[in-house]
């Protein structure tokens, strides 16, 4: 993968039904919501992620890790850790995890501030949540 500033970082919010995706810009300064994969419709979601990695010159992936408010693992944390293992087995790029606590609430608040309803638009929440924790990652590595 390119490491000369022209590659991107992919943020993944892995959920029971949907996988929210966000991309950094090529300079790795800004994170932006990208898309959502519905795992019930797109059962080959890893192939879709593979295509996104190739098309966008992804150099690393940041996956949101859903910890409890006390910072402990839950059943969903274990599911996401299993997903991270799948990614590591499939892709030869760094796969990192980041605490995603409260990212969905922050996403809803951000969308509401833009007068975007979130009740029936959960896809927007998922991709925005991915952008929020990806932005946190980018900010901590700048």
**Does residue 66 sit within a domain?**
yes
Q: Is residue 49 part of a domain?
A: yes
Compute the C-alpha angle 22/2/124, nearest 5°: 5
Cα 127 to Cα 123: distance, rounded to the nearest angstrom:
6
How confident is the prediction for the chain on average, in pLDDT? 84
Residue 52 in any domain: the answer is yes
Residue 2: inside a domain: no
Q: What is the pLDDT of residues 78-99, one digit of tens each?
A: 999 999 999 999 999 999 998 8
- Structural domain harbouring 91: 8-140
Do residues 11 and 53 touch, judged by C-beta distance below 8 A? no
pTM of the model: 0.82
pLDDT at 2 over 60: no
Evaluate whether residue 90 is within a structural domain: yes
Can you tell me the mean pLDDT for 124-134? 81
Domain containing residue 102: CATH number: 3.30.420.140
Give domain status of residue 114, yes or no: yes
Q: Is residue 3 situated within a structural domain? A: no
- Domain total of the chain: 1
CB proximity list for 93: less than 8 A, separation 6 or greater: 1, 53, 58, 59, 60, 61
Q: Domain for residue 19, yes or no? A: yes
């Amino acid at each position: 993968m390119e490491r000369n500033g022209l590659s991107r970082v992919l943020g993944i919010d892995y959920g029971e039904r949907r996988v929210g995706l966000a991309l950094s810009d090529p300079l790795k300064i800004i994170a932006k919501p990208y898309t959502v994969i519905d795992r019930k419709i797109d059962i080959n979601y890893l192939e879709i992620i593979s295509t996104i990695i190739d098309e966008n010159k992804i150099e690393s992936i940041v996956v949101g890790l859903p910890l409890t408010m006390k910072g402990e693992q839950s059943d969903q944390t274990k599911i996401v850790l299993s997903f991270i293992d799948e990614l590591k087995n499939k892709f030869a790029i760094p796969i990192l995890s980041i605490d995603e606590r409260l990212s969905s609430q922050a996403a809803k608040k951000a969308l509401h501030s833009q007068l975007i309803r979130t009740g029936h638009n959960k896809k927007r929440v998922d991709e925005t949540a991915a952008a929020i924790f990806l932005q946190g990652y980018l900010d901590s590595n700048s």
